[in-house]
Amino acid sequence: MSVTGIALILFMTFHGCMNVVALFSAKGYNMICEFLGANWYAVVATLALAALALIHIVYAFILTIQNRKARGNNRYDVTDKPAKVEWASQNMLVLGIIILLGLLLHLFNFWYNMMFAEIVGVEGLHSPSDGFAWIVDTFNQPVFVCLYIIWIIALWFHLTHGFWSAIQTIGWSGHIWFNRWKIIGIIYVTLLCLMFIAVILGFALGCAPSLCCGCGAECNCGLGDLCECAKNCANAAGACCGK
């Protein structure tokens, strides 16, 4: 679980950095989306990622079942929860299930409309490589903004515990380094989650610099205000900023 967990955190780091580009440049973000697209290397990476996630999830269930079997019906001798045991460590499976549901929604919002659409050759509201327009559309809907924020909060709890737990399982955590890794993990995961939150709120509130570049370009969908245009116009990326 530790190796797959760390690999998934590394993927999230890459994905978070990539998404931050969308805050500043529609063109830059779509260039990355086009580079990834449904090219063979991106499809291979997606399959590898799916395998990692699957192994991580299957192991989580196996370990939980083994733990429960080992402890019998009376799962704990001491049922008073010691203050030192983190809430997240006791709820990793529940958090994991919330994260999985969030991931399924996210894959439906983006992967299905982008990579999958390109593979099967269908085009929805936007081109499969216009990741910027898909982001604008998704976070224009308050229900998705709320669900994504709940998802990221669940991820924060899951990852802050998972980070040092993985380091400990691998055996890098000695007496002195135990607390240090905990703090490093909290800082790293908080920054990671803030990157995602910044993108969600930047688009939801219409304050991402890529939406309002102030370049004075005409909005070709009849909305005077560039921010409103970028939030509502189907061709927002090209129409408003031309970045």
Positions in the binding site for ligand HEM (CB under 6 A): 12, 15, 19, 33, 36, 45-46, 49, 103, 106, 110-111, 114-115, 131, 134-135, 155, 196, 199-200
Closer CB to ligand HEM, 105 or 227, in the complex: 105
Q: For residues 196 and 40, what is the distance between their CA atoms, to the nearest angstrom? A: 27
Residues 6+ apart with CB under 8 A from 59: 1, 4
Shortest Å, Cβ 118 to ligand HEM = 8
Structure tokens at 9: 């955190």
Shortest Å, Cβ 106 to ligand HEM = 5
Residues 6+ apart with CB under 8 A from 158: 88, 92, 95, 96, 99
Q: Are 217 and 226 in contact (CB under 8 A)?
A: yes
Shortest Å, Cβ 175 to ligand HEM = 32
H-run or E-run covering 8: helix 2-24
| DSSP 8-state symbol, 74 | S
| DSSP 8-state symbol, 110 | I
Shortest Å, Cβ 77 to ligand HEM = 36
Q: For residues 67 and 63, what is the distance between their CA atoms, to the nearest angstrom? A: 6
Shortest Å, Cβ 214 to ligand HEM = 23
Q: What is the DSSP string of 126-185?
A: S-TT-HHHHHHHHTTSHHHHHHHHHHHHHHHHHHHHHHHHHHHHHT---TTHHHHHHHHH
Shortest Å, Cβ 215 to ligand HEM = 23
Closer CB to ligand HEM, 54 or 65, in the complex: 54
Q: For residues 214 and 138, what is the distance between their CA atoms, to the nearest angstrom? A: 23
Shortest Å, Cβ 174 to ligand HEM = 30
Closer CB to ligand HEM, 3 or 50, in the complex: 50
